[in-house]
Amino acid sequence: MDGILIINKPKQYTSHDVVAKVKKICGEKVGHTGTLDPMATGVLPLLLGQGTKLSKYLINHDKTYIATIQLGKKTDTLDSEGSILEERLVDGKLLNKENVQRVLECQIGKQIQTPPIYSAIKVNGKKLYEYARKGVEVEIPKREIEIYNIELLDINEKDKTIEFRVHCSKGTYIRTLCENIAEKLGTIGYMKELNRVQVGQFNLNQAITVEELEKNKENEKFLNQHLITVQNFFEKYPIVELKEEKLKLFLNGVQLTNNNDDGLYQIKVNNVVVGIGTIKNKLLKREIIY
């Protein structure tokens, strides 16, 4: 089985838990292209077999999430898994719809974000959460992220929660975003729930559960319906036609002169797609062979 499976990750499973379970079911090499916190749910693209070659094309994909902020409480992990550090009464005026929408819209655009101390980012060879668990202070590296769009979905005045949808760049920490939104509203808060609904072109409608995969692992029709092959992944990319005499050179990794714009292309010879190539500075280079 070679390609991409979109898994709907359940709560309390780490991304590595899901990888291990799918590897056991399919008996293939399995990788993923970006972790989801254990308390988060949603889209987790898994790369199977030869599909693991697609990792570098997926790693920078944008993401879309639906998140819920719990206002009036602050935790050490910035989510519902952590210990409560502080509690405050939340003035109902803060939850005025126009006020909340204004604060959300202020988040749109590029910004410098400080990731949570409880995260897997490495500093001096150690993950940040390892420092946090030992109570060791460490400088957290900041990063530039971008919020492309953010939409208010719900305000629950009784529970003091806000639900929103956000479309953002790779590397965005929604826990930090939730904390920032709470601060802009004049209070404190943490991420209560998180559901990733899209990664690049992959969305929740394409996702299956690990249980569904286990149940249908011998069902060829089910697998064909849900497995995105390497060829399927690239089918919307532009095409470069090669003459048959150039095919052997391309397959052997020889860079060929080509006047197309820089980018990824499907390589076609005699109306058959033989692989994927990349063009840079007018040179065509082999990437993947079918």
Residue ranges per domain, the chain?
A: 3-61+201-232, 63-199, 237-289
Which pLDDT value is given to residue 56?
87
180-190 pLDDT, tens digit per residue, is 999 999 999 99
Mean pLDDT of 255-264: 93
Q: What percent of the chain has pLDDT over 70?
A: 100
Mean pLDDT of 139-166: 96
CB burial of residue 89 (10 Å; 0-12, 13-18, 19+): exposed
Q: Which CATH superfamily is domain 3-61+201-232 in?
A: Pseudouridine synthase (3.30.2350.10)
Which pLDDT value is given to residue 101?
97
* pLDDT above 90: residue 262: yes
b/e map of 266-275 (b: 16 or more CB within 10 Å)? bbebeeeebb
pTM here is 0.89
Let me know if the fold of 3-61+201-232 is the same as that of 63-199: yes
CB burial of residue 76 (10 Å; 0-12, 13-18, 19+): middle
Distance CA 145, CA 85 (A): 27
* pLDDT above 90: residue 21: yes
* pLDDT above 90: residue 153: yes
Which pLDDT value is given to residue 174?
97
* pLDDT above 90: residue 123: no
Q: Which amino acid is at 39?
A: M
CATH number of this structure's domain 237-289, picked from the four choices 3.40.50.300, 2.30.130.10, 1.10.3720.10, 3.30.479.20: 2.30.130.10
* pLDDT above 90: residue 133: no
Torsion of CA 4, 10, 11, 17, to 10 degrees: -50
Q: Which residue has the higher pLDDT, 169 or 136?
A: 169
pLDDT category of residue 281 using cuts at 50, 70 and 90: very high
Which pLDDT value is given to residue 59?
85
* pLDDT above 90: residue 285: yes
Residue 254, helix vs strand vs coil: coil
For residue 267, give the nearest of 282, 253, 288 by alpha carbon: 288
* Secondary element (H or E) of residue 167: strand 161-168
**Phi, psi at residue 127, to the nearest 5°?**
-75, 145
* pLDDT above 90: residue 176: yes
Distance CA 45, CA 33 (A): 7
Which pLDDT value is given to residue 57?
87
pLDDT category of residue 159 using cuts at 50, 70 and 90: very high
Give Cα 179 to chain centroid, integer Å.
Answer: 20
CATH number of this structure's domain 63-199, picked from the four choices 3.40.190.10, 3.40.50.720, 3.30.2350.10, 3.40.50.300: 3.30.2350.10
CB burial of residue 36 (10 Å; 0-12, 13-18, 19+): buried
Residues that are catalytic: 37
pLDDT, mean over the chain = 93
Side-chain-side CA neighbours of 284 within 13 Å: the count stands at 24
Range from 133-137, 140-144, 217-221, 245-249 carrying the lowest mean pLDDT: 133-137
Which pLDDT value is given to residue 102?
97
55-113 pLDDT, tens digit per residue, is 888 888 999 999 999 999 999 999 999 999 999 999 989 999 999 999 999 999 999 99
Q: Which amino acid is at 210?
A: V
